[in-house]
Structure 1
Amino acid sequence: MTNEKTVQQFDISIVGGGMVGAAIAVALSQAGLQVALIEKQAPPEFEPDSAPDLRVSSINLASEAWLATLGAWPVLERMRLCPYQRLQAFEQPHSIVTFNAADIKRSHLGHIVENNLLQLALWQQFGANVRLFCPSSVTALEQTADSAIVTLDSGEQLSSKLVVAADGGNSQLRQLAGIGSNGWQYRQACLVALVNTPYPQQDVTWQQFTPSGPKAFLPLSGQQGSVVWYEEATKVKQLAALSPAQLTQQLLKAFPPQIGEVEVVASSWFPLARMDANRYYAGRVVLAGDAAHTINPLAGQGVNLGFADAKLLTELIIDARRHNNDIGSAQLLQSYQRKRKPANLLMMSAMDGFYQVFGNDIPPVRKLRQLVLSVAARSTMLKTLVARYAVGSE
């Protein structure tokens, strides 16, 4: 049994201080809740001359607006980020479909942001209501009718009305809470490379669809960009083992002319997997972000789904607190699951369907794909709808 004399009390404990977990901590602490945040590693300080992080995300306007209310977005703007006004999709380089911010009367469709900088901008919003346990990890979980107690590797014990698992796709807390998951590993893997380009800062992100997998370019600040190359896992591992100069040559052979004479600076790779938790809560443990779902990163929607989880969850908690209701009640957590699980599943299924249609070289499917792109290229209404969806509009 837990020794009550040694237990530290908080309103909320959050396991995982990445982008989603940190955003939840900021939102709840700003509403006056006492928050414990448990994270294994702090983000590095920003150095203006440092190379961009290989891990980047496409942040849509809905996520951007919420991050601005938390105070993180202005901080990020003073560091480094890149807006884009156009999004292009094509199979052949001469048949491009362009979705433009101007079509929906917006200045931009989104921003390409380095993950570690967004995390740092959120960490800089922590105030007196956030108690940071870092470096630290959870070793045990105990639940009672009205609280959840986590034990840290330091031996400290934290009790709260609710524990948020925001510790990623391989969430340890999800496992400790006994929540199962479904999913699979895709046959493809993903190579990401930081490249120098011969162009000034670009305002377009594009994606080419091929039978072997998509190839994409995301603009970064200045004359740099991020290249994303989906391929069969064995080939990706081989590409990742090449020197920057060797990888540059392979990339120039495989990518469309739009890429230009780029030069690889650094690269990494990761496997692709889909995971959906069987449920989003158990007792007083609730899942958010990648701990609840991981998605094929085809359209860069993963972190935006995580922020949508975080925004709804924090709104429900803050409302419950305002009305003196239990912030870890089954009713609250059911409401969260009822709204977010179907929305996340829909996006996951849509990305899988997209993946199948555009990663298939069967003649009838290829003709259908070409027809869809042809219609999209000519339809202002369809392009407007896609652009609105891309920015996170309902």
Structure 2
Amino acid sequence: MNQFDCVVVGGGMVGAASALSLAELGLKVAIIEKSAPAIFSPEQDFDLRVSAISLASEQLLKQLGAWQQLKQWRMCAYKRLGVWEFEQSYTEFNAQDINQTHLGHIVENRLIQLALWQKLQQHSNITLLCPETLINIEQSPTDVKLTLSSETINAKVVIGADGANSFVRKLANIGTTGWDYAQSAMLINVQTEKPQQDITWQQFYPTGPLAMLPMPGNFASLVWYHDKDEIKRLSALSNGNLAQEILQNFPARLGNVEVINKAAFPLTRRHANQYQKGRILLIGDAAHTINPMAGQGVNLGFKDVKALQHVIAKAIGNGESWHEPKVLASYQQKRRTDNLLMMTTMDALYLSFGHVSPLVKLARNAGLMMVNTVPSLKNKALAYACGI
């Protein structure tokens, strides 16, 4: 029976990053994943799933050696972030205001995963079990036995990084709180009339925000939030008719567009009641799924990775048994409150902009205008969002 220090279930962006970060500490790590990411070629269309990678996440990816490869493939830096409901309340955040060259990069999720996998495959401390499927987990006071579709392995610690519908979370009998939002979101890749911009923006409506994420060249990723029936109607349109709907509903600053690809998904909020149960830990979407309105989902997952690495590195440095549950409990203490704060803030923002009361509308626009008049508050919020 193979014995590992850590077994990571799920080889997505956050799972792959966690495996690498723990292997860098000298631990023997296995990662279980059902399928490998597709290879990259420059002529491929942009993937629909993209992330706004913060400065803090960029630093983690540099530390793990994946950022250098991503720069050789494709990504798009943005220096400014614009938010508004009415034009007179337009608020813009600028990287220069916090002494940075940029606020973040828009990067395709699959490319982040692929760059991390290239490092996984090169690391002598990592065993990549793919294609492989988890069947069962049994905890004992000293380790965890994992029954897989083709073998049985043991680990001192198991990390569930297997997404919002985490099987690890289910096997560990960890409950969640949460709900489904009344809205859905539509992702639309477009070719743009105007050249690539260095800004990402969101305009808010009672029906939900409209957002633009810049992509390399004359391309952009649009996000359209609306009630489920309207998103269903939009999804059924031809690309040409959808382009006409975009021109009628998105801000004029977008210009003419040609729709390349589209997909829709429901919005949900889930938060695990605990991130640790004995020797089992949850990270990323297995622990928390957040309203994607501010693009913080994967950035929160990468913060989980960094926190877990810090907890285990500190224990190893102090000569402690890093895999003991009392040591692992520090990870939950570091991350659960912070994640809950971000989730609650996003929900408050979501509910605020969905409120049709004239008084609430006046208050939120006055709030946006006030942010512009208090640079210290504006820049503090921006630095926090960037993870610095």
Q: Does 1:216 align with 2:211?
A: yes
Report deviation, 1:259: 1.4
Distance 2:187 2:72 in 1: 25
Listed as ranges, the matches of 1:117-266 within 5 Å are 117-126=111-120, 127-154=123-150, 156-266=151-261
Choose which of 29, 32, 53 in structure 1 pairs with 2:23. Answer: 29
CA distance in 1 between partners of 2:380 and 2:317 (Å) = 37
Contact 2:89 2:366 in 1 (8 A): no
Q: Distance in 2 between matches of 1:193 and 1:104?
A: 31
Aligned to 1:68: 62
The runs of at least 4 aligned residues of structure 1 exceeding 3 Å deviation read: 321-324
- Structure-2 separation of matches of 1:59 and 1:283: 32
Q: Following the alignment from structure 2 to structure 1, what is the Cα–Cα distance between the partners of residues 307 and 377?
A: 29
Q: Report the equivalent of 1:105.
A: 99
Structure 2 CA distance for aligned equivalents of residues 251 and 350 of structure 1: 29
Partner of 1:315: 310
Amino acid of the structure 2 residue aligned with 1:384: N
Unaligned segments of structure 2, at least 5 residues: none
**CA displacement at 1:199 relative to structure 2:** 2.0
Q: Distance in 1 between matches of 2:210 and 2:134?
A: 38
What amino acid is the match of 2:240? A
Distance in 2 between the 1:320 and 1:25 partners? Answer: 18
Contact 2:89 2:365 (C-alpha < 8 Å) held by counterparts:
no
Q: Which runs of 5+ in 1 are unaligned?
A: 1-6
Q: Is the 8 A contact 2:86 2:365 kept in 1?
A: no
Q: Which moved more, 1:382-391 or 1:257-266?
A: 382-391
Partner of 2:376: 381
SS at match of 2:181: strand
User: What is the one-letter code of the residue matched to 2:29?
Assistant: V
Q: How far off its partner does 1:94 sit?
A: 5.2
- Confirm or deny: 8 A CA contact 1:36 1:130 kept in the other structure: yes
SS at match of 1:13: strand
Q: How far apart in 2 are the matches of 1:305 and 1:298?
A: 14
What amino acid sits opposite 2:333 in the alignment?
Answer: R
Aligned length: 386
Distance in 2 between residues matched to 1:309 and 1:345, nearest whole Å: 13
Deviation at 1:378, TM superposition (A): 3.0
Please, what TM-score do these two structures have when normalized by structure 2?
0.97
**Which secondary structure does the structure 1 equivalent of 2:268 belong to?**
strand
Distance 2:116 2:172 in 1: 27
Determine the C-alpha separation between the residues in 2 that align with 1:245 and 1:137: 41
Aligned partners of 2:186, 2:63: CA distance in 1, in Å?
A: 34
Structure 2 counterpart of 1:138, one-letter code? L
- Give the counterpart letter for 2:190 in structure 1: V
Give the match for residue 4 of structure 1: none
Contact 2:188 2:263 in 1 (8 A): yes
Give the superposition deviation at 1:318. 2.6
Q: Secondary structure at the match of 1:124?
A: helix
Root-mean-square deviation (Å): 1.2
Give the equivalent residue in structure 2 for 1:3: none
Segment of structure 1 superposing worse, 10-19 or 145-154:
145-154
1:66 Cα deviation after fit: 1.4
CA contact (8 A) 1:191 1:228 kept: yes
Q: CA deviation at 1:254?
A: 1.2
SS in 2 for 1:218: strand
SS in 2 for 1:202: coil
Confirm whether residue 278 of structure 1 aligns to residue 235 of structure 2: no
Contact 1:93 1:257 in 2 (8 A): no
Q: Give the TM-score normalised by the residue count of structure 1.
A: 0.96
Q: Paired residue for 2:332?
A: 337
Q: Is the 8 A contact 1:43 1:116 kept in 2?
A: yes
